[in-house]
């Protein structure tokens, strides 16, 4: 049980955290308007020089490894729906770390996801 909780935590927190790091880094890299190969290579080189990109990449890779390990333990019809908890984690995360205002409608969506995950876990038997 503890193993599953740890693996799900890695998937649910690691994935979105990696995406946030990547997103923050790409915003600093700037908008891509020139799509010629050399220009794209320069953008890639600029991105590769940023620590945030590598942290994001490492977190996303960790989440993927967690998913592979979890799929070796449990059914896909259980694992993938539970990973929807990342939507629930991103709401308080966005509020605390990014100062986002979470609308009541979004809280309702998050509550439904949590309730759904609880039912999926109960249905695990």
| Shortest separation between residue 37's beta carbon and another protein, angstroms | 18
Pick 40 or 108: Cβ nearer another protein? 108
> Cβ distance 103 to 80 under 8 Å?
no
C-alpha–C-alpha distance, residues 57 and 74, integer Å: 25
**Contact with another protein (CB under 8 A): which of 19, 84, 89, 93?**
84
Q: Which stretch binds another protein (CB under 8 A): 19-27, 32-40, 51-59, 92-100?
A: 92-100
What does the DSSP 8-state code read for residue 105? H
Identify residues 22-81 at the interface with another protein (CB under 8 A): 65, 67-69, 71-73, 75-81
Give phi and psi for 32, each to the nearest 5.
-90, 115
| Shortest separation between residue 107's beta carbon and another protein, angstroms | 9
Identify residues 95-114 at the interface with another protein (CB under 8 A): 98-103, 105-106, 108-114
For the record, the structure tokens of 51 come out as: 């620590």
> Cβ distance 25 to 53 under 8 Å?
yes
C-alpha–C-alpha distance, residues 98 and 125, integer Å: 38
Which residues contribute to the site for another protein (CB under 8 A)? 3, 65, 67-69, 71-73, 75-81, 84, 87, 91, 98-103, 105-106, 108-125
């Amino acid at each position: 049980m503890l193993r599953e909780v740890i693996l799900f935590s890695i998937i649910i927190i690691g994935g979105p955290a990696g995406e946030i790091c990547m997103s923050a880094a790409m915003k600093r890299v700037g908008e891509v308007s020139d799509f010629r190969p050399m220009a794209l290579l320069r953008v890639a080189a600029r991105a590769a020089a940023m620590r945030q990109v590598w942290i994001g990449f490492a977190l996303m890779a960790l989440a993927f490894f967690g998913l592979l390990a979890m799929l070796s333990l449990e059914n896909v019809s259980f694992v993938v729906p539970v990973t929807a908890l990342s939507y629930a984690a991103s709401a308080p995360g966005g509020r605390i770390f990014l100062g986002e205002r979470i609308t009541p409608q979004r809280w309702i969506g998050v509550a439904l996801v949590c309730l759904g995950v609880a039912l999926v876990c109960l249905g695990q038997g």
